[in-house]
Amino acid sequence: MTDQPAKILVIFGTRPEAIKLFTVVAALKQDPRFEPIVCVSAQHRAMLDQVLEIAGIVPDHDLDLMRPNQTLDGLTAALLTELGGVMDRVKPDRVIVQGDTATAMAGALAAYYRKLPVDHVEAGLRSGNIYHPWPEEVNRKIIGGIASLHFAPTTTSEAALLRENVSADRVHVTGNTVIDALHWVLGRIEAQPSLAGGLDELAERFKGKRIIGVTSHRRENFGHGMENIASAIRRIAERPDTAIIFPVHLNPNVRAVMNERLVGLDNVALIEPLDYPHFARLLSMAEIMLTDSGGVQEEAPALGKPVLVMRETTERPEGVVAGTARLVGTDSSRIVSEIFSLLDDKAAYEAMARAHNPFGDGQASRRIVDALAQEVWGA
């Protein structure tokens, strides 16, 4: 034990990692026993910067690695070398990674190559299928094989780790930090509604209509899956009582399909990715969320919004078990019939529209810092 605060290198690169780590960085900053050092790979650029700005984080290291339409191997190779270089310069005591992205996996591996302990936020999510989600299921397993502390959001994810022979004393059930972030941002909007005022115009344009919020970006849905999703949205938009608000992910594989097939429809708003306050407002405005996102599957139940998940399997079964989420895959007829059933059958809607917090109570970041303090300082 030294008198110096423990140097914690917090690594992230994409929008969801930033959303799920900014409250952890804030909690570490408030604790004099820790010195958090933020390294962003910038695997995402614009979508990462949106989060850094609202969270007020200025990274200590910014690798600026995003390339247009980057490949998994090109990205991973660059990440491994560059993140390793930062570790050699910073010489942290521990490294934190979050979730399942290429940045998280390469960060964990580079730390392992230096025998640095890695702490994994959002540990233990498993679908049991290495191609759904792809490549995230394997990224998670690699990180799980390396991690020192595993911060499991739920007892379901804890159980998955124990089945893989992770020893119980290395796992802490903390809740998911996304709920901390959501509470924080909702508080910010309440205090200052203009933070999400950019949606006023759409709210006015779609007044009286039933709003469906859509997001989509999964690699395993590229091609046929994205085309099916676009066809489903066209059919839903034939109903004059509905409006679709779809902030389109910056991945060109998503944008090409959506721009080609959905532009020019009166009640479909294809918009740029929203910053977090605006997206939180969209979650509140929407009657239903239709998504293939991981984070949205966690946020929608917290707000009591039915969420239809355009995936074959999920590593987040808690929302499905709680009844707020339903897996609908990417078959367009199935998506349309599930949406229509929620729009037309009040009982079916109400059965799904109950606020649950299966993913946490908003205190995950504090629990993570407490567990780290116990690990590093024994208190």
Which stretches of the chain bind ligand UD1, using CB under 6 A? 14-16, 43-47, 66-70, 72, 75, 100-102, 135-136, 217, 219, 250-252
Query: Which residues carry out catalysis?
Result: 100, 122, 136, 217, 219, 249
Looking only at the bridges linking them, the beta strands covering 61-62 and 94-98 are unpaired
Least distance (Å) between residue 347 CB and ligand UD1: 34
- Whose tokens are 């405005």? That residue is 285
Looking only at the bridges linking them, the beta strands covering 210-215 and 171-173 are unpaired
Which residue lies nearer to ligand UDP by CB, 151 or 279? 279
- Whose tokens are 């239709």? That residue is 290
**Nearest CA to 218 among 43, 101, 369?**
101
Given a contact cutoff of 8 angstroms between Cβ atoms, the answer to whether 48 and 273 are in contact is no
- Looking at this protein, which amino acid is placed at residue 332? S
Q: Which of ligand UD1, ligand UDP, none has residue 178 at its interface (CB below 5 to 8 Å by kind)? A: ligand UDP
Which residue lies nearer to ligand UDP by CB, 195 or 296? 296
Least distance (Å) between residue 54 CB and ligand UDP: 9
- Whose tokens are 């959501």? That residue is 182
Q: At what angle do helices 15-29 and 294-302 cross, to 10 degrees?
A: 60
Q: Which of ligand UD1, ligand UDP, none has residue 85 at its interface (CB below 5 to 8 Å by kind)? A: none
Please give the Cα distance from 248 to 254 (Å, whole number): 7
Least distance (Å) between residue 46 CB and ligand UD1: 4
What length is written for the chain? 379
Q: Which of ligand UD1, ligand UDP, none has residue 46 at its interface (CB below 5 to 8 Å by kind)? A: ligand UD1
Sheet containing strand 210-215, edge to edge, reads 268-271, 242-247, 210-215, 288-291, 307-309, 325-327
The footprint of ligand UDP (CB under 6 A) covers 15-16, 19, 178, 215, 217, 247, 273-274, 276, 279, 293-296, 299
Which residue lies nearer to ligand UD1 by CB, 172 or 317? 317
Least distance (Å) between residue 127 CB and ligand UD1: 13
Q: Which of ligand UDP, ligand UD1, none has residue 43 at its interface (CB below 5 to 8 Å by kind)? A: ligand UD1
Q: Which of ligand UD1, ligand UDP, none has residue 359 at its interface (CB below 5 to 8 Å by kind)? A: none
Which residue lies nearer to ligand UDP by CB, 50 or 228? 50
Please give the Cα distance from 237 to 186 (Å, whole number): 29
Instruction: Report how many helices (DSSP H) and strands (DSSP E) the chain contains, helices first.
Output: 16, 13
Please give the Cα distance from 254 to 351 (Å, whole number): 32
Least distance (Å) between residue 198 CB and ligand UD1: 18
Which residue lies nearer to ligand UDP by CB, 116 or 181? 181
Q: Which of ligand UDP, ligand UD1, none has residue 296 at its interface (CB below 5 to 8 Å by kind)? A: ligand UDP
Which residue lies nearer to ligand UDP by CB, 16 or 107? 16
Least distance (Å) between residue 284 CB and ligand UDP: 12
Output the six-digit token pair for 293.
Answer: 């996102």
Please give the Cα distance from 189 to 276 (Å, whole number): 10
